[in-house]
Amino acid sequence: MVSQQIIQKSEAILEKYGSSLTGKTILITGVAPDSIAGELAVQLSAAKPALLILSARSEARVEPIVAKIKAKNSNTATRFLQMDLSSRADIQRAVDTLGDITKIDHLACVAGVMWPPFSRTTDGIESQFAVNYLANFQITQLFLPKLEAAGAGSSIIIVASSAVRSGKVDFEDFNFSEIKKPDSYTPSVGYSQSNAARVMFVKKLAQRLAGTKIRTYSVDPGAVRSGLQRHFTSETRGWIDSIRASGEKLKDLDGKEYNFPVWTSASEGAATIITGMVDPTISESNGAFLHHNAVADEELHSHLLNQDNWDRLWTLSENLLAQ
């Protein structure tokens, strides 16, 4: 099959399909000046949505994005949603503050952490699994009635990463219970696992939403320089640069070779999220993994495509939220 992938800027996607976002209510997590989510919010403001709900841990992170939005499209309404994705209780509290919002047309879960030192949340969950995956599972469940109220064409977009290609969920020890010392933890393993969970969650979610006409996709936005890389050491950056310069191929968990991702702009990273929201040409591929504005399930390895794993993850997630 010939790949349909093409790197495009958000402006190009909006020029083709942006009119379908006019008058819509859109919620975005992880908004900050140095994030893909912040760029996404600014780009979407050009489509004249009714309301952009911008979520972050603190309002100070959102204020510079609101200023950009107002400078670009002064009539765009925005609302700050304070939400700490490392706390199940705080996610519930945040969702409860939106009781006056009757519908949400598009939910874009963009927030995440990458390669932090080992820690567990106050709920006892390894931080990357909690913030990158379990929070998205909880948010989606809590906002689902509002998305259903929006009707056909509403969307749930879960941002993942090319790290899915090296990731799997360790169902026997997803929480790294054997970690006794922080320096015995490999952050990249936790990051890849959390992204694998994101992709498998969307696969199962699409099955469960069959017949609702709610769009749901996981997205690799590409390699975008952002605050996500704040935990990179100089050694990590040097290793990445050397791999890029050498042209060395990487291998996924099935041994399939792939290229190290090239750097793309924030606008190009946000574009594939917008594609998931509104591109009508992919509507028959609900639940797909998107990369460079196209369905890219061929990039997924067998662990991610195993439907038994989707079921196991869903059950695990429900059990964790019930604790």
Residue 1 has what pLDDT?
47
Strands across the sheet containing 51-56: 78-82, 51-56, 25-28, 106-109, 155-159, 215-220, 289-291, 294-295
CA 261 to CA 269: how far, in whole Å? 12
Question: CA 127 → CA 53, 68, 113, distances in Å?
Answer: 25, 31, 8
Residue with tokens 């040097």: 238
Residue 2 has what pLDDT?
53
Residue 238 has what pLDDT?
84
* AA identity, residue 27: L
H-only helix segments in the chain? 10-17, 36-45, 59-72, 88-96, 127-128, 135-150, 187-208, 234-246, 266-278, 302-305, 307-322
Mean pLDDT per 10-residue segment, the chain (323 residues): 82 98 98 97 97 98 98 95 98 98 98 95 97 98 98 97 97 90 88 98 98 96 87 82 86 94 94 98 97 97 98 98 91
pTM recorded for the entire structure: 0.95
